[in-house]
Amino acid sequence: MTELNETHDPALRSWVPSANDDGADFTIQNLPFSVFRRQGSAEAWRGGVAIGDQILDLAAVAATGIMEGAAAQALQAATGAALNPLMALGPGAWSALRQALSRALRKGSAAQARLGTCLVPQSAAEYRVPARIGDYTDFYTSVYHATNIGRQFRPDNPLPANYKWIPIGYHGRASSVVVSGYDFRRPVGQAMPPGAQAPVVRASQRMDIELELGVFIGTGNALGEPIAIADAPAHVFGFTLLNDWSARDIQPWEYQPLGPFLSKNFATTISPWIVTTEALAPYRVAAPARPAGDPQPLPYLDAPGNREQGALDVQLEVLLQTPRMREAGMPATRISATNYRHAYWTFAQMVAHHTVNGCNLQSGDLLGTGTLSGPTLDQACALIELTVGGKQPVTLPGGEQRAFLEDGDAVILRGWCAKPGAARIGFGECRGTVLPARDVAY
């Protein structure tokens, strides 16, 4: 388990003023990573670290020669167009770089004069997916989401028989993972309308969202060598917000017997920022106790550390803004709020199960937690749950209603950690807008 150290001290302040603002996402105790360049430029993509409303340009920092040893090696690994080289170095290097950055960015640091020119305003930057994602696996870790969905199709037996025994997952599409701000076309696929005798090919009429966290693998494992659950957190570089867009009318027709395909692979949006596992150490909490009657995890999915500190206290919310709201100058409105601590399966259990058969994870691989719905319906994080399959539409400010997403709707995910005695750790936002389907006859 990641131990608390000097970088977590809530009393730390930065010489970057905006990092000290009340409610700031990117405090000096956070220091999340991204890959960026200035908007509209032909500059090389390179690694950056968020501090307040600025980005510390890691390539520019490396050019100053200000760091030495393990921190300098890790810094150099973060200067390219993807963070995979940094991820592959492991927790010792990550921690050394984090400590060096924290010391350099603290109020009163002698490094301020040399690093002041290495800042780029976030408002002047554009981002890309921060790692080369070789593989993407999406899990199903919220028992509340699984129950809400299952109840719509199997009222008497909503959960599959294996749900409480294994972290269920499916292999997703890495090539269509996009960064926040990318607007995508409504997908087309086969659907079987109610009462029809044959499927039709059409644009999805039941576009949905899924609020998740993405888990970026740092160091991988050799083929044939499982990762023990006690070791799993050390293999995780960090976490990002993730929206697993879903076409609910395509999904039920195609998913049997092998699972989601065209209903999911057209787009998955992630935040530009990866919040490191080390930054989240103050927010490790006990994994939820299993209710009476539920099976206890099998030995390879169980460890004292996972029971005591396997969950993360991350607050999450979904906001929606329609075209009419934008035209009227109305901000996005919250439609759901939840917390990652409710997940039935922890991120360490996801990693341990993924590799128990010898599967080799690699640096930059992405795992999705699955929709992180909480125990009450107002904490449901997909429209199919919130609207009970479209039967009870959500009413928005101005009187509009939504059962599923319409063209032009923008969805924003946000996440943060906050509690007395610890600094706020924010995830920024994950935003995407649904564009009309391509005008093509099928």
**Residue 394 C-beta-side C-alpha neighbours within 13 Å:** 28
> For the domain that residue 149 is a member of, what is the CATH number?
3.90.850.10
Whether residue 426 lies inside any domain: the answer is: yes
Query: Does residue 4 sit within a domain?
Result: no
270 with 177, same domain: the answer is yes
In the listed set 128, 158, 179, which residue is the last one of a domain according to the structure?
Answer: 128
User: Residues 33, 44: contact at Cβ < 8 Å?
Assistant: no
Cis status of the peptide bond prior to 257, with omega within 30 of 0: yes
Given a cut of 80, is residue 342 above it in pLDDT?
Answer: yes
* Amino acid 153: pLDDT: 83
pLDDT average, residue stretch 389-400: 96
Q: What is the pLDDT of residues 172-214, one digit of tens each?
A: 999 999 999 999 999 999 999 999 999 999 999 999 999 999 9
The mean of the pLDDT values for the chain is: 97
Q: Are residues 119 and 264 in the same domain?
A: no
Residues 193 and 96 grouped into a single domain: no
- The pLDDT tens digits for 128-144 are 999 999 999 999 999 99
**CATH assignment at residue 53:** 2.30.30.230
* Residue 226 shares a structural domain with residue 363: yes
Strand partners, 16: none
Residues 220 and 121 grouped into a single domain: no
Whether residues 251 and 322 share a domain: the answer is: yes
By C-alpha distance, which of 167, 180, 185 is closest to 34?
180
Residue 141: Cβ within 10 Å count: 27
Report pLDDT for 137. 98
Confidence band of 1 (pLDDT split at 50, 70, 90)? low
- Residue 441 — very low, low, confident or very high, per pLDDT cuts 50/70/90? low
8 in a structural domain: no
- Neighbour count for residue 15 (Cβ, 10 Å): 20
Share of the chain above pLDDT 90, in %: 97
Q: Do 222 and 159 sit in the same domain of this protein?
A: yes
Q: What percentage of the chain carries pLDDT values higher than 70?
A: 99
> 270 and 355 share a domain?
yes
Give the model's pLDDT for residue 3: 86
pLDDT digits (tens, 9 = 90+) for 237-286: 999 999 999 999 999 999 989 999 999 999 999 999 999 999 999 999 99
Q: Identify the DSSP state of 274.
A: B
pTM of the model: 0.97
The C-alpha torsion from 319 through 322 and 323 to 324, rounded to 10°, is -120
405 domain residue, yes or no: yes
The answer on pLDDT for 318 being more than 80 is: yes
pLDDT digits (tens, 9 = 90+) for 203-245: 999 999 999 999 999 999 999 999 999 999 999 999 999 999 9
Phi, psi dihedrals of residue 288, rounded to the nearest 5°? -55, 135
How far, CA to CA in Å, does 101 sit from each of 74, 97, 408? 11, 6, 40
Which one of 93, 128, 163 terminates a domain?
Answer: 128
Confidence tier at 156 by pLDDT (50, 70, 90): confident
Confirm whether 66 is domain-assigned: yes
Q: Within this chain, do residues 114 and 252 fall inside the same structural domain, yes or no?
A: no
Assess whether pLDDT exceeds 90 at residue 155: no
> Over 80: is that where the pLDDT of 58 sits?
yes
Q: What pLDDT score was predicted for residue 442? A: 66
E strands in 155-234: 169-171, 177-179, 184-185, 188-191, 200-203, 207-208, 211-217
Residue 440's pLDDT band (cuts 50, 70, 90): confident
- Enumerate the active-site residues: 145
Residue 1: inside a domain, yes or no? Answer: no
Q: What is the pLDDT of residues 11-45, one digit of tens each?
A: 999 999 999 999 999 999 999 999 999 999 999 99
Q: CB of 178 within 8 A of CB of 433?
A: no
**124 and 232 share one domain:** no
Q: Answer whether residue 7 is part of any domain.
A: no
One domain for residues 395 and 294? yes
What's the pLDDT score for residue 434?
A: 98
Domain hosting residue 401, numbered range: 136-435
Per-residue pLDDT, 281 = 98
Q: Based on the structure, what is the number of domains in the chain?
A: 2
Please identify, among 95, 128, 161, the residue that sits at the C-terminal boundary of a domain.
128
Its sign, for the CA torsion 324, 326, 330, 332, is: positive
Cα–Cα dist 240/211, whole Å: 11
Do residues 118 and 237 share a domain? no
| C-alpha closest to that of 244 among 258, 259, 264 | 264
Q: Is residue 3 part of a domain?
A: no
